[in-house]
Amino acid sequence: MINGLVHWIAQNFPNIYNLGWTGDTGWGTSVLQIIYMTFWPSIFGGVLGLFFGVILVLTEPGGILENKFWFNFCDKLISILRAIPFIILLAFISPLTRLIVGTEIGDTAALVPLTLGIFPFYARQVQVALESLDPGKVEAAQSLGASNWDIIFDVYLKETRSEIIRVSTVSIISLIGLTAMAGAVGAGGLGTTAIQYGYRDFANDVTFLATVLVVIMIFIVQVVGDFLAKKLNHQHR
């Protein structure tokens, strides 16, 4: 059955078949590259985004650690980074990328701009999620003598965990889109496959399949994210 399917693909979609599954141009290689370029920036960008998101909420006017200087600094930094188009960011921080990973080309080199591209977006999402918390819960914790650390972890992060999962899902989906864009400029992955071996070679079937695979990845992330968000929300109730 499998051999019959492979033969059918070779006969009807030779462009897809010729790329193969392994090797530099293989479909399996491209899928693994986009997973690699999504996973690590999700971790690094997630940590940075969560940190800055929490700092923004804590130091904003009326926050438990209100500090005008640090709030304005973090707020402006995130706004500036969000304002830079990702394609320009790739070129702009290329010296930093080379300094960190030793090269400006490839999937590993893409981790640096991808991290810097997603973390300000995620930080804003986290800020909004935390600000949705009822201020009365923070005040209640303070009245009971809770420390700032207790308020951060047991009130802000615990009470909004379902919402944080939701915004994390949105951010990972956005990151998948950025990986495809990074692939278009030599980072590998399905972006490279779609542009270099599909669009530029007028192989519409290759472009179509690459698009379908990206959509499937996004769908999986969305389903898992929705499941976790609902589960945590039910547990909280």
CATH code for position 183: 1.10.3720.10
Question: Which pLDDT belongs to residue 53?
Answer: 95
12 is a domain residue: no
128 touches 168 (CB < 8 A): no
Token pair belonging to 192: 């490279």
132 is a domain residue: yes
- Total count of domains within the chain: 1
171 is a domain residue: yes
Range of the domain at 103: 18-236
11 is a domain residue: no
Question: Which pLDDT belongs to residue 77?
Answer: 94
Question: Which pLDDT belongs to residue 3?
Answer: 67
The residue assigned the tokens 């893409």 is: 110
Closest CA to 39 of 120, 104, 118: 118
CA dihedral (176, 182, 183, 189) positive or negative: negative
Closest CA to 58 of 152, 161, 129: 152
Q: Which residues contact 85 (CB under 8 A, 6 or more apart)?
A: none
Question: Which pLDDT belongs to residue 102?
Answer: 83
The low-confidence residues of the chain, meaning pLDDT below 50, are none
pLDDT digits (tens, 9 = 90+) for 184-193: 667 778 888 8
176 touches 38 (CB < 8 A): yes
Question: Which pLDDT belongs to residue 173?
Answer: 94
Question: Which pLDDT belongs to residue 237?
Answer: 52
| pTM for the model | 0.89
4 is a domain residue: no
